[in-house]
A and B are shown apart, each in its own frame.
Chain A
Amino acid sequence: MIHVPDRLGEAVRLVEHEARLLDERRFDEWLSLFTEDGWYWMPASWGQRSPDDSLSLLYEDKRLLALRVRRLASPVIHVEQPPSRTHHHLSALGAEPNAEGGIDVGSLQLIVMVRAAEQRLFSARCTHRLAMHDHELRIASKTVRLLDCDAGHRGFAVPL
């Protein structure tokens, strides 16, 4: 029996680690943080309740995230020539047990992206739903609610 409240600190550290892996472009390690049935969702409208009733900027399960990550390693991924760099600035981190016996971690993330010496900003409220897997916390879902989710964006290939 795992006592979830004891692991709240660990949950927060996992979300910080996840951001670090993205910033360091360690995408294979990043992918391994997700459970096998894990998914990633970036809504395209403010207050969007579900990826099933509206368009999303990104809605991918682990198999599609794996495809995305393999693509990032390709020499002919044009939108990543030159590669983008990111810094994920995390704040307002909070963890609490969820109804499924796991932990939800909320955070505000300011994602600064630089590519070809040009800077872009993404501000997001993120929710990581974490689940226990072999006594380890893993990401069952990551929801990235961009403050400007419904604005026109230029292309990007890396998961934020």
Chain B
Amino acid sequence: MPSHLPDFTDLVTDQRVHRSVYTDPAVFAAEQEQIFRRAWLYVGHESQVPEPGDWLLTRLGPDEMILIRGEGGVLSLLHNRCPHRGSRLVGGDRGHNRHLICPYHAWSFDPSGVLTGLPLPEGYPDGYLRDAGARNVARAPRLQSYRGFVFASHAHEGPPLAEFLQGIAFAIDNLVDRAPAGRVTQVGGALRMVYRGNWKLFMENAVDLVHPGFVHASAVAAARSDREAASLPGVTGQVVQMQLANGLRPAEWDELSIHGFAGGHVSMDSFYRQGVIAAQRDDPVFRRYFDALADAHGEERAKDILALDRFNNLVWPNVSINSRFQAMRVVQPLAPDLTQVTSWCFSLDGAPEEMTRLTLRFLTAAASPASLVAADDLEVFERCQQGFAGQGPEWLDISRGALRDRESETGWIAPGTSEIPIRLQFAAWRRWMSRTKAEAA
């Protein structure tokens, strides 16, 4: 451990976690240092910055960053901070600039962060401004695109991205493979939800197959009283089907599998079986889409791509990907008890335009703060955080199903009701929280 950080790893065992992992500012600070300033984190999609000079404001752990494309197409991830007096360089969400010019004293930088001009250079000694480390915009030392999805790390050294994504890269592969042109494009803006609770609560819940019948009981019941609406075209049928799917009984959830990986990543089988939300539909739009995919990959390969029927795929520590619905959620810890979740969707290049409408509706129905589903998830996260407060019982249980977890060729596999997703995420948490920087390298 770095000497200034206490050891928190005894707060987590295979069976239980101490409530302070969700509440203690010292734990949060250590997570930021040990996990969010070292691990590979998703920072944006290449289609958001297609041309040289295009930039996007994003975050890498605790820091606000600019993802910018330079001449020759090279991507850089720069701190949104002028090296002169510290001002934020850009104020908007995204833009296009050949040079980034600080609003304070007009220092200007090229897209790789190199100082290209400033007023009054004669005020500095010869050679002073060529001290690149001090005069250029600070940048993330490691940045790598995986099939268009850009990840970065604040750590100079550590496991390569391919090793970090071990087990879960298929979720990105499957999303991109679904595009007949082999490329996806981020479209449709974003949705942002905020809750007064710890970031881990969202990641645990996204692969919790027991909660829907309880947390979403009111929406399930309301949908069941108008089942015919599930077969209506357009947004109506899709949203009603989504509510009905949440009403599976616990025994039915157990027929689904949870797939876990050593890096803390988790993939769960889909529970969407009926109508337009089913893995493979039979309607004119889908048939046109299938033909385009088969033209690109051959019929067998196209069938294999579409047969992969998973719902949420967690890329630990803070991303959830749904390849079937071309959707991605990124969890941003803001404080021990404050989290923002941003949701994005992607169009499949070469697929019928109507396919994009499906993902827009899916996320509008599933990831808006006004969602029939998500509003209750957010409420329960806040209730957990409220429940952790005070001087009551200190330990929380994460042991359900542990006796039935078994190792698979790639990691672990367990029945849907197992709490293995929480156990695996905390196992990764423990590892990163206990590793020193030297060990991580």
Contact = CB atoms under 8 A, between A and B. Distances in A.
B194 A153 contact: yes
B196 A64 contact: no
B222 A155 contact: no
B374 interface: yes
A151 B192 contact: yes
Interface stretch (A5-13, A26-34, A52-60, A88-96): A52-60
A55 B217 contact: no
Name which of B235, B243, B357 has the most chain A CB atoms within 10 A of its CB.
Answer: B235
B201 interface: no
A105 interface: no
A44 B193 CA distance: 11
A24 B380 CA distance: 26
A44 B191 contact: yes
A150 B189 contact: yes
Contacts of A48: 189
A114 interface: no
A145 to B, nearest CB: 14
Contact of B193 (A42, A58, A71, A152): A152
Contact of B363 (A42, A55, A68, A71): A55
A152 B236 contact: no
A156 B195 CA distance: 11
Contacts of A63: 226, 229, 232, 236, 240
B370 interface: yes
A153 B343 CA distance: 13
A152 B191 CA distance: 8
A71 B222 contact: yes
B217 A76 contact: yes
A70 B225 contact: yes
How many residues of A sit at the interface, in one of the four size bands? 35 or more
Interface in B333-367: 340-343, 345, 357, 360-361, 363-364, 367
A16 interface: no
A154 B368 CA distance: 9
Nearest to A160: B370
Contacts of B341: 152
B192 A153 contact: yes
Contacts of B374: 155
A94 to B, nearest CB: 26
Interface string A58-83: 11110110111011001011110000
A124 to B, nearest CB: 13
Contact of B188 (A53, A57, A61, A67): A53
B369 interface: yes
Contact of B190 (A42, A55, A154): A55
A61 B382 CA distance: 30
A55 B367 CA distance: 10
Interface in B182-230: 187-196, 215, 217-219, 221-223, 225-226, 229
A142 to B, nearest CB: 14
A157 interface: yes
A123 interface: no
Interface in B362-388: 363-364, 367-372, 374-380, 382-383
Interface of B: 187-196, 215, 217-219, 221-223, 225-226, 229, 232, 234-236, 239-240, 243, 340-343, 345, 357, 360-361, 363-364, 367-372, 374-380, 382-383
15 contacts: A42-B370, A54-B189, A55-B189, A55-B364, A58-B370, A63-B226, A74-B217, A76-B217, A78-B215, A152-B192, A155-B370, A155-B376, A156-B375, A157-B370, A157-B376
